[in-house]
Amino acid sequence: MTVLPKGTPCGQSIVSMGRSILFRNCTELDLELSPMMPGYRDTTVLHEPRAVAAMPKSEVFPIRSGEDIVRLRQFVRAKAVALGFSLTDQTKFVTAASELARNALIHGGGGDAHFLMPESNGRLGLRLEFIDQGPGIPDIDKALADGFSSGNGLGLGLGGAKRLCDEFHIRSTPGAGSHISILKWKRF
């Protein structure tokens, strides 16, 4: 396991498991890498509220290709880990994000994912808003039902994403695109 203590300068680059990893915004964080956790680039653990306050509260990710979906998944996982979300909640939110990003790409012709970090009554959350200018969803209730698919999928996408999140909101107008918002709160 590689551990970078608090005070590690931002931009520090280390080699772990044969990969060079560049850490950003490290001054308030302890960072750990474990070879027992395949697929993790870092498992950032916040130890001070100042570190959360220093994180950007919003970012926008274009969704134009499959690679963009992979980058979004990695970013969302890193933020969920940094905020101390449980592994189960990380997996749920990343899965929902991936499904909705794929829908925006395939059905909406691409779009943008807006990442936000809301706070309410001392709770931290992760919100993603997927916005596309595609053909829209003519019947939202039907699209949310399990088994419905406008393509070749299993028909679990929108309904499944809704079940994986604490909050789910969808607005869509045929011919004018869709706006889907998901939110996951950190458990106490």
Mean pLDDT score, 100-123: 94
**Is there a contact between 174 and 131 (Cβ–Cβ < 8 Å)?**
no
**Is there a contact between 182 and 96 (Cβ–Cβ < 8 Å)?**
yes
* Residue 54 pLDDT class (50, 70, 90 cuts): low
Task: Give the CATH number for residue 119.
Answer: 3.30.565.10
pLDDT greater than 70 at residue 142? yes
pLDDT greater than 70 at residue 164? yes
Q: Which of 29, 55, 81 is the last residue of a domain?
A: 55
Read off the tokens for 62. Answer: 């274009």
Instruction: Name the domain count of the chain.
Output: 2
How much is the mean pLDDT over the chain?
76
Q: Are residues 29 and 86 in the same domain?
A: no
Give the domain extent around 176.
Answer: 57-188
Q: Are residues 61 and 49 in the same domain?
A: no
CA distance 103 to 110: 8
Give the DSSP per-residue string, 62-106: EE-SHHHHHHHHHHHHHHHHHTT--HHHHHHHHHHHHHHHHHHHH
